[in-house]
């Protein structure tokens, strides 16, 4: 079969910005002018959706003869994606090949700074400033920025969550060393000069570094199922959907979101090596190499490593709960550990001490510092945690309190009205960190990843009754 390389650009960009990348690939004998193909899409068209892009990409693949009308491969394809295109290629593969991955032409994907779990610039792009700086200038499309695409790129978007459930957090993920190999490269630096004003912590100037990797676990606490001695399900156990783990990942020094597509001295050889791997064993060695590069990068720049958390709250009908508050607490380990939710010892006061309160206030500030609610659905919330800072803080709190400590989370949902409320009684002391827990090895803290936390709670009402006597309403 012919060998094709497909290059896909990101939002507010075009293939012309990746021309030097194609030239490098040709120089390295990885392809020819005819076999290295660009995929272009009008990313600033407001009505264009990810579904539209994926459908259009599929139709173009058929027209070019890369796949047959029934989707079966007519070539072997390696793909290079930048930024938003990471979501596009994943969406395309899932939509057309999830149930028949052997028919998929894609064998290897190199992702350059992919926006797998969002960008803090996406909601800014929809603002007036975004309209003025990135909006289109054509008559009839004036100031369009690609709102549908930016909605999907926004931090904690439902689009990212739903796609992850379909292709990353699933029974038989196809991203691995034997099926589709994914190599992810991301820079460690933000923008310099005038553009530095848009830099956010934990980013390469545009995307969240921790949001580029695909090893995202989903953890669920479901308090909607009936609880009795005959029920095998226990709500206080976290249900874990394990993530994809067989992929290559590197954080590269001195590169940002733009320069990663232009620095062929550092990035070029890694792309070349990723495409020339022949076996699963070679890919595993490549994974180790990229891990060493990442460790070297952090050793040189001394920057913190982050973890991104996305929290979603649903009711027992799987409807979103938009109005809720999450509070975090540091408490001495005086409570009995009932799996992953704490119950108070009878001898322990219901009130935390002044010291515990002060450390709880500080940990709330640390965890909530980089917080964002998804603008289209506030049942999705995002937190970005500096793992070095949180680890140092927990150690300090334990030392100052002279006691083993536990980090817990409380979910508060206000009542809808006098007759409709949420049952959050068992969601008051959810354990996130317990260094002495013996009943589980679950840890919440992993560097350079996005963790999905799903909380399900009963919505109760007093407006529905059964009885033998008629009632007047």
Once rounded to an integer, what is the mean pLDDT over residues 212-241?
77
Average pLDDT over all residues of the chain: 89
Query: How far apart are the C-alpha atoms of 47 and 376, rounded to whole Å?
Result: 16
How far CA 250 is from CA of 59, 111, 253, 293, 452, in Å, comes to: 33, 11, 10, 6, 22
Checking if the pLDDT of 393 tops 60, the result is yes
Checking if the pLDDT of 204 tops 70, the result is yes
pLDDT number for residue 199 = 92
Once rounded to an integer, what is the mean pLDDT over residues 127-147?
46
* 382 against 406, higher pLDDT: 382
pLDDT number for residue 218 = 94
Checking if the pLDDT of 202 tops 50, the result is yes
How far CA 19 is from CA of 9, 30, 48, 276, 311, in Å, comes to: 11, 15, 24, 21, 39
Checking if the pLDDT of 396 tops 60, the result is yes
Q: Are 429 and 338 in contact (CB under 8 A)?
A: no
List all residues 6 or more positions away from 19 whose beta carbon is below 8 Å from its beta carbon. none
Once rounded to an integer, what is the mean pLDDT over residues 210-214?
97
Q: Fold for domain 3-215+239-303?
A: Rossmann fold (3.40.50)
Checking if the pLDDT of 443 tops 90, the result is no
Q: What percent of the chain has pLDDT over 90?
A: 76
User: What band does 142 get if pLDDT is binned at 50, 70 and 90?
Assistant: very low
Cite the beta strand spans of 200-351 per DSSP E.
Answer: 218-222, 239-241, 248-252, 306-315, 325-332, 336-338, 341-343
Structure tokens at 371: 């917080």
CA angle 432/379/208 to nearest 5° reads: 70
Summarize pLDDT for 298-317 with one digit per residue, the tens: 999 999 999 999 999 999 99
Checking if the pLDDT of 72 tops 70, the result is yes
pLDDT number for residue 358 = 95
pLDDT number for residue 133 = 41
| Domain extents in the chain | 3-215+239-303, 308-461
Structure tokens at 40: 């272009």
The whole-model pTM stands at: 0.91
List all residues 6 or more positions away from 158 whose beta carbon is below 8 Å from its beta carbon. 374, 376, 377, 380
Checking if the pLDDT of 412 tops 80, the result is yes
pLDDT number for residue 311 = 97
Checking if the pLDDT of 441 tops 60, the result is no
Checking if the pLDDT of 344 tops 90, the result is no
Query: How far apart are the C-alpha atoms of 3 and 256, rounded to whole Å?
Result: 30
Checking if the pLDDT of 134 tops 50, the result is no
pLDDT number for residue 440 = 45
The H or E element containing residue 370 is strand 370-373
Once rounded to an integer, what is the mean pLDDT over residues 213-217?
95
Angle between helices 85-97 and 158-167 (to 10 degrees): 50
Q: What are phi and psi of 261, to 5 degrees?
A: -95, 0
Once rounded to an integer, what is the mean pLDDT over residues 225-239?
64
pLDDT number for residue 437 = 61
Once rounded to an integer, what is the mean pLDDT over residues 281-309?
97
Once rounded to an integer, what is the mean pLDDT over residues 228-243?
68
């Amino acid at each position: 079969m012919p060998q094709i390389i497909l290059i896909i650009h990101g939002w507010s960009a075009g293939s012309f910005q990746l021309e030097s990348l194609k030239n490098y690939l040709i120089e390295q004998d990885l392809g020819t002018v005819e076999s290295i193909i660009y995929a272009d899409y009008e990313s600033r068209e407001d009505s264009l959706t990810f579904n539209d892009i994926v459908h259009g990409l599929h139709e173009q693949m058929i027209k070019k003869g890369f796949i047959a009308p029934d989707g079966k491969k007519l070539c072997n394809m390696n793909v290079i994606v930048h930024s938003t295109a990471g979501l596009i290629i994943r969406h395309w593969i899932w939509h057309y090949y999830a149930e028949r991955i052997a028919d998929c032409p894609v064998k290897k994907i190199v992702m350059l700074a992919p926006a797998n779990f969002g960008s803090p610039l996406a909601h800014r792009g929809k603002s007036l400033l975004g309209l003025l700086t990135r909006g289109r200038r054509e008559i009839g499309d004036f100031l369009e920025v690609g709102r549908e695409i930016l909605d999907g790129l926004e931090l904690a978007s439902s689009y990212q969550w739903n796609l992850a459930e379909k292709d990353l957090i699933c029974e038989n993920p196809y991203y691995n060393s034997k099926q589709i190999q994914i190599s992810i490269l991301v820079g460690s630096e933000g923008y310099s000069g005038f553009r530095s004003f848009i830099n956010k912590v934990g980013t390469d100037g545009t995307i969240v570094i921790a949001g580029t990797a695909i090893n995202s676990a989903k953890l669920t606490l479901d308090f909607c199922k009936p609880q009795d001695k005959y029920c095998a399900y226990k709500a206080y156990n976290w249900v874990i959907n394990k993530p994809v783990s067989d992929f290559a990942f590197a954080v590269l020094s001195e590169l940002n979101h733009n320069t990663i597509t232009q620095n062929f001295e550092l990035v070029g050889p890694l792309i070349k090596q990723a495409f020339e791997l022949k076996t699963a064993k070679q890919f595993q060695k490549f994974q180790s190499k990229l891990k060493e590069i990442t460790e070297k990068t952090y050793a040189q720049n001394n920057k913190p490593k982050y973890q991104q958390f996305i929290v979603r709250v649903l009711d027992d009908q799987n409807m979103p709960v938009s109005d809720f508050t999450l509070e975090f607490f540091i408490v001495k380990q005086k409570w009995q550990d009932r799996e992953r939710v704490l119950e108070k010892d009878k001898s322990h006061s219901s009130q935390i001490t002044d010291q515990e309160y002060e450390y709880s206030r500080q940990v709330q500030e640390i965890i909530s510092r980089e917080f964002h609610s998804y603008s289209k659905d506030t049942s999705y919330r995002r937190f970005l945690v500096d793992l070095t800072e949180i680890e140092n803080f927990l150690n300090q709190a334990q030392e100052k309190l002279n006691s083993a400590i536990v980090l817990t989370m409380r979910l508060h949902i206000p009542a809808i009205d006098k007759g409709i409320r949420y049952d959050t009684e068992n969601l008051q002391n959810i354990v996130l960190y317990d260094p002495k827990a013996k009943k589980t090895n679950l840890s919440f803290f992993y560097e350079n990843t996005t963790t999905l936390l799903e909380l399900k709670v009963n919505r109760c009402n007093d407006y529905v009754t059964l009885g033998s006597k008629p009632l007047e309403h």
